[in-house]
Amino acid sequence: MLMKVRPSSTCAKTGTIALQNLQKSYGGLTAVDDVSLSIPAGEFVSLLGPSGSGKTTTLMMMAGFEAPDSGRILLDEKDITRQPPHRRELGVIFQSYALFPHMTVAENVAYSLRMRSVARAELEERVGRALDQVQLSALASRYPHQMSGGQQQRVAIARALVFDPPVLLLDEPLGALDRKLRHHLRNEIKSLHKEVGKTMVYVTHDQDEALAMSDRIAVMHEGRIRQFSAPQDVYRRPADLFVASFVGEVNLIKASLKSGIAYGPAGERLPAGPWTGVDSDATLCVRPEHLHLKIDGAGTSDGIQGRIVDATFVGDATVFEFRSDAGLQLTSKVLNIAPEAMLGIGVSCVASWGASEATILTE
């Protein structure tokens, strides 16, 4: 769907957002703590974090429904911090669609244009275009209760698009849908983004969604942004322990580094990694798909000796629990097309990682 979008206008790209030191407390609780973020026009940025990390509050301040205690919000370099929501020209889409039940799809989409006394011909033109963009033209005269959750959410998106705002703000828009539909709509929102080229700020607690959709992800925790990077960097080079463990599965190994060599909790020597020149205690971070298991004698000198203590079939892969002779427990994920996926519980083997596949988090 979403293929019939008209090319966006040729004027200079608008929709640059800058958040500067935003602060917001409720009573004694700091919901958003010194958040700064620069979003170039046309980027798809996710705010990713667990429940309560301040994502919605940040988005609501951008939309103008919450006022920051301090800090500034700029849209295309203009300070909009004190502007009321309807003056900001931002499209907002919530998890609950909040459609008017007694109005048809077309009337729902037209509602706010009507409030602004947009002339009839123009109104029809714009409603038609917005419904076209989400491929709902055929359902324009239906009522919300006659539509599926996914269709209702598309109406909500059309309602935001009808103003042609340079920025769309979306707060967990797929949260109420089942997994399969989420996946489908995720792709639709992504292709809508490609086609309309608007800046999109997308709130989610779902790391897979954020990794799949975003140009960049702002990972939030306790009101703060812990990392703002491309999905690949968030995954491969997490900025800290929180990001490493929130995004994807991870082995975290307490190690001490001396002269470029890492030693495990029992003083055992660990495989090489990118920590030459570091002489301190650190946490090593190795993704399960990077922990390679080899049967004894397969020529792995730079590895950890141990055995497999558990194996779980997860469809495309098998997840192994490995315990070293020194007692270090690690997880390895092996695609079932690889011969190592046949390893069984009790088998002794050597675990290792490629030197560039591990990362180091100093404390």
Q: Identify the CA nearest to 330 among candidates 253, 242, 243, 237.
A: 253
Range 67-77 burial, b when 16+ CB lie within 10 A, else e: ebeebebebbe
Give the Cα separation of 327 and 322 in Å (integer): 9
> Phi-psi category of 250—alpha, beta or left, where left has phi over 0 and alpha has psi -120 to 50?
beta
Q: How far is the CB of 51 from ligand ADP (least distance, A)?
A: 4
Binding residue for Mg ion, selected from 56, 58, 283, 324, defined by CB under 5 A: 56
CB of 352 to Mg ion, least distance (A): 41
**Closer residue to ligand ADP in complex, CB, 26/263:** 26
**Residue number, nearest CB to Mg ion:** 56
Q: From the CB of 220, what's the least distance to Mg ion, in Å?
A: 10
User: For Mg ion, how many residues bind (rule: CB under 5 A)?
Assistant: 1
Of 12, 29, 119, 314, the residue at the interface with ligand ADP (CB under 6 A) is: 29
Select 60 or 349, whichever has its Cβ closest to ligand ADP: 60
Contacts of 231 (CB under 8 A, 6+ apart): 210, 211, 212, 214, 216, 217
Q: Does 56 bind ligand ADP (CB under 6 A)?
A: yes
Show the 3-state SS of 1-66.
CCCCCCCCCCCCCCCCEEEEEEEEEECCEEEEEEEEEEECCCCEEEEECCCCCCHHHHHHHHHCCC
Residues between 213 and 232 with contacts to ligand ADP, criterion CB under 6 A: none
Q: Which is nearer to ligand ADP, 53 or 153 (CB)?
A: 53
Using the minimum distance from each CB to ligand ADP, give the nearer residue, 30 or 305.
Answer: 30
Cβ of residue 310: shortest distance to Mg ion, in angstroms?
A: 36
**What residue ranges bind Mg ion (CB under 5 A)?**
56
Query: Applying CB under 6 A, which residues contact ligand ADP?
Result: 26, 29, 31, 49, 51-57
